Amino acid sequence: MHKQPFMNRPEIVTRDEERIFQASVDKINISSTAQLSFAWFIRNVSTIPFVISNERTLLQRGALTWNPPPGSLTKGVKIIEFEVEVTNVPVVSRDFGFIEVQEPSLVALINGGSDTLHSSSEEIILLGSDSFDSWPARGINQHSGMSFSWSCFHGGQLVPHVYSGHQKVVVPSESAKKNASICDEDTMGNKRGLNVTIRPNENQMYYIKLVVKKDQRQAEFLRTLYAADQDILLVAIRYLKNTIF
């Protein structure tokens, strides 16, 4: 382990991940035959005000590594201590490090990517089914306890291309997205649930926001949707579920 002053950001650990903590011991001025014993401890830390608990919990003895099972650490800032005792020596040696245990991430996703082209001649159905909670592991009930809320904002009209007469896609700025006005009720159907229906006007740009909530956590995803007045090829990079961010 390496010392990490609290004024620097502590190492982040999520409750669902598997993490191995490893220590090293250098035998300086100690006989090679000396008997060493190892122990790992943990203390809770209050950040406001900054207080380190006097109570420490024994985690493991007799090993240079400690591998806490996923879900075994409670949320909050902790001090991990590694302690070494030498037989017949009255003092001990310690090292420590700060970690912050966080709840696993909640991920909001609109299937198909963050920028898509669609034909304005028909309704568009957007799906939020790729959204997930990484704790517990994803499975049949991966959306259990999650709520979905959709919003639609006007992004303005597609710009005509001066040479061909066709519509041109212009990538919007972040400030334009933040200042966009809300769509009317005719444009977006039911605003809750895994799916939402968009009825776009031709040659318009829309910003579609999905907000996913569970417990005290919240995640957002924003899509820029371009609705053209002609048949087009739909091109998108889909989210890969096995991608590690």
State residue 77's pLDDT score.
94
State residue 239's pLDDT score.
53
Q: Which two tokens stand for residue 53?
A: 């608990």
State residue 174's pLDDT score.
79
Residue type, 205: M
- pLDDT tens, per residue, the chain with 245 residues: 444 444 457 888 888 778 899 998 887 777 777 788 999 999 999 988 889 999 999 999 999 999 998 888 888 999 999 999 988 888 888 899 999 998 888 889 999 888 888 888 889 999 999 898 877 655 557 788 899 999 999 988 876 554 445 555 666 777 888 888 999 888 997 889 999 999 999 889 999 999 999 887 889 999 999 888 765 444 555 555 554 44
Whole-prediction pTM: 0.60
What are the φ and ψ backbone dihedral angles of 133, each rounded to 5 degrees?
-110, 120
Q: Which two tokens stand for residue 40?
A: 């790992």
Burial 181-219 (b: 16+ CB within 10 A, else e): eebeeebbbeeeebebebebeebbbbbbbbbbbbeeeeb
Residue by residue, what is the 3-state secondary structure of 29-69? CCCCCCCEEEEEEEEEEECCCCEEEEEEEEEEECCCEECCC
Burial 74-86 (b: 16+ CB within 10 A, else e): eeebbbbbbbbeb
State residue 58's pLDDT score.
94
